A and B are shown apart, each in its own frame.
Chain A
Amino acid sequence: KQEVTQIPAALSVPEGENLVLNCSFTDSAIYNLQWFRQDPGKGLTSLLLIQSSQREQTSGRLNASLDKSSGRSTLYIAASQPGDSATYLCAVRPRMDSNYQLIWGAGTKLIIKP
């Protein structure tokens, strides 16, 4: 059974720092992995999708990597800003018959201090 873990559960850093959020999964049989951002009480914004054949994806100050063999993905945020404060969730789409399911991590709550 696929399980997704995000550590740490919360992270507070000063503005301007580069930081890394971690996501690990137990089964490498996945179609893809998505990173989302969620502001309090709001919907989810898709940040990056990494296909199973890819090693990384970049969007602006964000870079996501994928290492299927070790069951790990990281989200790198460069030059953090207070506006980056949010909860970041990763989710994997398992390669299985019921292919609509996303298996979610519990999220990392990020606070960027001005």
Chain B
Amino acid sequence: DTEVTQTPKHLVMGMTNKKSLKCEQHMGHRAMYWYKQKAKKPPELMFVYSYEKLSINESVPSRFSPECPNSSLLNLHLHALQPEDSALYLCASSQPGGSSYNEQFFGPGTRLTVL
């Protein structure tokens, strides 16, 4: 099974709302990622968890708060977002560490619209 699942598929929220995005994988991967993708651009890395610990935070504003409850789940908590945060949010997973075998697998994404 090479599937990464994400919920919800679509999310519309106001600037004062609190919401969460969820990601799950059952490939036994120990590295999980959040990316943000704007239209017609490649994905931008936001966060990386390795062995359930935050490994990389690419200077993401604190209104985005990641959480990795266990090795299969990854959440992204959203609070007080801005309209410019509207984008496709992608989750990915891979084996951790540097290796030529490490392949990243992506989920279908959550289309977020901030009003």
Q: Other than A32-B100, A102-B104, A107-B40, give 11 A-B pairs with Cβ distance below 8 A.
A: A32-B101, A41-B88, A43-B88, A43-B106, A43-B109, A46-B103, A49-B103, A89-B42, A93-B98, A100-B55, A102-B45
**Neighbouring B residues of A36 by C-beta, 8 Å:** 106
Query: Interface readout for A71-103 with B: 1 if CB under 8 Å, 0 if not?
Result: 000000000000000000101010100111110
Interface size of A in residues (CB-CB distance below 8 Å) = 27
**Neighbouring A residues of B100 by C-beta, 8 Å:** 31-32, 51-53
Give the total number of A-B pairs whose CB atoms are below 8 A apart: 65
Could you list which residues of chain B lie within 8 angstroms of chain A, going by C-beta atoms?
A: 4, 6, 31, 33, 40-43, 45, 48, 50, 55-56, 88, 90, 92, 96-109, 111
Q: Is the CB of A51 within 8 A of B42?
A: no
Bound-complex Cα distance A52 to B90 (A):
26
Bound-complex Cα distance A107 to B39 (A):
12
Q: Is the CB of B103 within 8 A of A105?
A: no
Nearest neighbor of A40 in chain B, beta-carbon distance: B39
Nearest neighbor of B45 in chain A, beta-carbon distance: A101
23 contacts between A and B (CB under 8 A): A31-B98, A32-B100, A32-B101, A32-B103, A34-B104, A41-B88, A41-B109, A42-B108, A43-B90, A43-B106, A44-B43, A46-B104, A51-B100, A53-B100, A91-B42, A93-B102, A98-B56, A100-B55, A100-B96, A101-B56, A102-B45, A105-B42, A107-B40
